[in-house]
């Protein structure tokens, strides 16, 4: 089968790989119909996530058709069209039993700090991902869901991670009616978080980024006020000015490891891989939220230390909330919002790219060319 | 602005927001937010086992020293191999995830892996191709030259640093080596003169 394979930082190609096979009785094999490139895939592409091995296939956002099931699979049948959450989880361990699907203890031998994720290095379990024609899906009775007939394929695809994660970010921000929320990052997750803040009754939503076309999207898709941090000199001071000197009630970091805005942080993290990520956006969130406010972290960071301004967080009495999103828990409510016409996650999609051209897709996404927001990979095209 | 007990400024009224924004306030009640509270004991997951049965093929699979046993299910994507595999195995067998050495060794393993894979590819029927694999051909039709000036390309902002970061370690190594050799040779000459 054809699959995207990693060849080292900033290098990948499409190769013929052996088709995945049933490795465990509760596995399924899924033929991928649509996959997406996630902003956090770029951390892998840039060589920032430890133990990303040559030959690895990325891709944790995908939908497809079940081709084969293992002997203990009860809920899925061959031919079912499924959406697959990016988390791989057993459904029965201490964490899964409490709904913390992202923190499953039974699927990732390589680390205890993080659960299993498709196509996200061996630090998250060593599972190949969905940017391929076929993919192995462990725990088929637990993770995948049959795509409802009235949910469009591309909406279902965006719910496998990006939109659900943004929605979860807004939940973690603990927004009360009338609150001011500031979202750092106008990528797909940031845009989804900004849009979701309104669902939770926000009174004001501000999105911070540095690329004009992404801020334009934030105004159109997320009805947000926008600030280009490159235009205001000191973004924290500007956000304080906009909020009467107090700061926002909630701040959401939807940027993560490769934040721009501070050259030393960028060099030590993105370039030299000496930090778990440049914590610029996180520090801005800590500093621009009001005392007693909440900081929600959706941005992906690596496992090494990061120079986070923790003293400010302590002295301000902040609540810091974060996790990889347990996306399947959001699906029933998000289906309702889609059916009610409140949301159309697929509005975030800007590019549809054949699998054969995936290297070009990564390059466009990494460089932010062609006003790219969310690229989708079409294996069969 | 004086600091009073009131929140400064007033956001738009709920009616205004409801008219302007689809679904405004639909989840204003925290009970409508499906992952709040974050921990929900007894949640239905679809699991029909207390402990999943063990995946076969467990021999030799690396694991974090923080796990007491190999997890029941694991990925089989790219098993450990070669020099990079030895570095990674050492990291997994020796250090917990709380130790920086664990992660730095894994990053080192990654660099060894990509270098050896590149060299090996030169002796294969499909050597690495830096042009197609970089994806730069995707710039065709997207103003490949004009985009490099004043358009905020994410890859150019710190590009001036790349030569320093790539060449810097080589220059420092060469300088150290030169000084070492010069120091040693001077020491040898000095001893000869003293005789």
Instruction: Quote the tokens at residue A346.
Output: 């697929």
Phi, psi of A292, rounded to the nearest 5 degrees: 80, 5
Nearest-angstrom CA–CA distance, A148 and A36? 20
Nearest-angstrom CA–CA distance, A133 and B118? 25
Between A90, A196, A199, which is nearest B73 by CB? A90
Between A89, A110, A363, which is nearest B138 by CB? A363
Q: B21 contacts in A (CB within 8 Å)?
A: 198, 223
Between A12, A97, A366, which is nearest B133 by CB? A12
- In the sheet that holds A248-253, the strands lie side by side as A225-228, A204-209, A180-184, A248-253, A289-297, A319-322
| A153-204 tens-digit pLDDT | 999 999 999 999 999 999 999 999 999 999 999 999 999 999 999 999 999 9
Between A127, A142, A271, which is nearest B75 by CB? A127
**B123 pLDDT higher than 70:** yes
Q: What is the DSSP letter of A132?
A: B
pTM comes to 0.93
| A5-64 tens-digit pLDDT | 999 999 999 999 999 999 999 999 999 999 999 999 999 999 889 999 999 999 999 999
**B160 pLDDT higher than 80:** no
The confidence score (pLDDT) of residue A342 equals: 97
Nearest-angstrom CA–CA distance, A355 and A348? 20
Tell me how far CA of residue B137 lies from CA of A376, B6, B131, B148, in angstroms: 18, 56, 7, 15
Beta-strand ranges (E) seen in A211-329 are 225-228, 248-253, 289-297, 319-322
| B75-117 tens-digit pLDDT | 999 999 999 999 999 999 999 999 999 999 999 999 999 999 9
**A103 pLDDT higher than 90:** yes
Q: What is the DSSP letter of A79?
A: T
Identify the residue whose tokens are 């120079």. Answer: A307
Tell me the pLDDT band of A381, cut-offs 50, 70 and 90: low
**A140 pLDDT higher than 80:** yes
Mean pLDDT computed over every residue of chain B: 89
Chain A: residue whose CA lies nearest to B26: A199
Q: A99 contacts in B (CB within 8 Å)?
A: 35, 38-40, 43
Paired residues of A294 in beta bridges: A250, A319
Contact yes or no for A221/A193 (Cβ under 8 A): no
Nearest-angstrom CA–CA distance, A198 and A238? 22
* Interface ipTM: 0.94
Contact yes or no for A344/A155 (Cβ under 8 A): yes
Say which residue, B142 or A188, is predicted with more confidence.
A188
A18 interface with B at CB cutoff 8 Å:
no
Identify the residue whose tokens are 């941005």. Answer: A299
Mean pLDDT, rounded, for B54-58: 97
Q: What is the DSSP letter of B55?
A: P
Neighbouring C-beta atoms of residue A209, cutoff 10 Å: 25
Q: B45 contacts in A (CB within 8 Å)?
A: 89, 91-92, 96-97, 101, 142
Mean pLDDT, rounded, for A276-302: 93
B15 interface with A at CB cutoff 8 Å:
no
The confidence score (pLDDT) of residue B177 equals: 92
**A147 pLDDT higher than 90:** yes
Share of residues in chain B with pLDDT > 90 (%) = 63
Q: Determine the 3-state secondary structure of A170 from DSSP.
A: helix
B48·A177 Cβ contact <8 A:
no
Q: Which helix (H) or strand (E) holds A66?
A: strand A61-69
Tell me the pLDDT band of B163, cut-offs 50, 70 and 90: confident
Contact yes or no for A50/A124 (Cβ under 8 A): no
Q: B120 contacts in A (CB within 8 Å)?
A: none
**B151 pLDDT higher than 70:** no
Contact yes or no for B165/A272 (Cβ under 8 A): yes
Nearest-angstrom CA–CA distance, A164 and A328? 8
Nearest-angstrom CA–CA distance, A34 and A355? 10
Tell me the pLDDT band of A222, cut-offs 50, 70 and 90: very high
Paired residues of A367 in beta bridges: none
B144 CA: distance to closest CA in chain A (Å): 9
The confidence score (pLDDT) of residue A160 equals: 98
Mean pLDDT computed over every residue of chain A: 95
The confidence score (pLDDT) of residue B107 equals: 92
Tell me the pLDDT band of B152, cut-offs 50, 70 and 90: low
């Amino acid at each position: 089968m054809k699959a995207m394979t990693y060849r080292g930082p900033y290098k990948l190609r499409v190769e013929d790989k052996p088709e995945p096979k049933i490795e465990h009785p509760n596995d399924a094999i899924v033929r991928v119909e649509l996959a997406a490139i996630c902003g956090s895939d770029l951390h892998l592409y840039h060589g920032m996530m430890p133990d990303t091995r040559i030959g690895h296939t990325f891709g944790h956002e995908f939908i497809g058709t079940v081709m084969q099931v293992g002997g203990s699979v009860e809920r899925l049948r061959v031919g079912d069209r499924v959406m697959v959450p990016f988390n791989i989880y057993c459904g029965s361990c201490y964490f899964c039993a409490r709904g913390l699907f992202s923190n499953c203890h039974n699927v990732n031998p390589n680390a205890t700090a993080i659960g299993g994720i498709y196509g996200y290095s061996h630090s998250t379990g060593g599972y190949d991902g969905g940017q391929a024609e076929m993919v192995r899906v462990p725990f088929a009775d637990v993770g995948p869901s049959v795509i409802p007939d009235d949910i469009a394929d591309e909406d279902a695809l965006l719910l496998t991670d990006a939109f659900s994660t943004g929605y979860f970010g807004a939940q973690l921000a603990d927004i009360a009616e009338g609150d001011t929320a500031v979202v750092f990052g106008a990528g797909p997750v940031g845009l989804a978080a900004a849009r979701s803040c309104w669902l939770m009754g926000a009174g004001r939503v501000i999105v911070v980024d540095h690329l004009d076309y992404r801020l334009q999207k934030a105004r159109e898709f997320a009805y947000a006020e926008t600030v280009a941090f490159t235009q205001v000199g000191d973004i924290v001071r500007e956000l304080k000015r906009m909020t009467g000197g107090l700061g926002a009630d909630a701040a959401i970091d939807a940027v993560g490891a490769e934040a721009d805005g501070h050259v030393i942080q960028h060099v030590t993290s993105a370039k030299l891989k000496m930090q778990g990520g440049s914590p610029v956006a996180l520090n801005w969130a800590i500093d621009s939220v009001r005392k007693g406010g909440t900081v929600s972290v959706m941005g992906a960071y690596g496992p090494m230390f990061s120079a986070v301004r923790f003293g400010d967080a302590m002295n301000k009495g902040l609540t810091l909330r974060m996790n990889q999103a347990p996306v399947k828990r959001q699906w029933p409510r998000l289906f309702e919002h889609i059916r009610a016409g409140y949301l159309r996650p697929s509005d975030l999609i800007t590019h549809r790219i054949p699998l054969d051209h995936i290297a070009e897709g990564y390059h466009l996404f990494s460089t932010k060319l062609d006003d790219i927001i969310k690229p989708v990979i079409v294996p069969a095209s | 602005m004086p600091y009073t007990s009131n929140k400064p400024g007033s956001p738009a009224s709920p009616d205004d927001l409801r008219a302007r924004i689809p679904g405004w306030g639909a989840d204003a009640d925290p009970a409508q937010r499906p992952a709040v509270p974050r921990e929900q004991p007894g949640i239905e997951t679809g699991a029909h086992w207390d402990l999943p049965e063990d995946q076969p093929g467990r021999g030799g699979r690396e694991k974090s020293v923080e796990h007491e046993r190999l997890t029941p299910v694991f990925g089989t994507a790219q098993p450990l191999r070669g020099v990079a595999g030895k570095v990674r195995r050492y990291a997994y067998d020796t250090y917990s995830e709380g130790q920086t050495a664990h992660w730095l060794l894994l990053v080192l393993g990654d660099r060894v892996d990509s270098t050896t894979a590149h060299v090996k590819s030169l002796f294969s029927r499909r050597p690495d191709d830096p042009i197609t694999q970089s994806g730069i051909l995707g710039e065709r039709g997207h103003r490949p030259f004009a985009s490099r000036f004043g358009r905020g390309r994410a890859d150019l902002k710190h590009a001036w640093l790349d030569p320093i970061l790539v060449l810097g370690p080589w220059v420092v190594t060469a300088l150290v080596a030169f000084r070492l050799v010069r120091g040693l040779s001077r020491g040898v000459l000095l001893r000869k003169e003293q005789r």
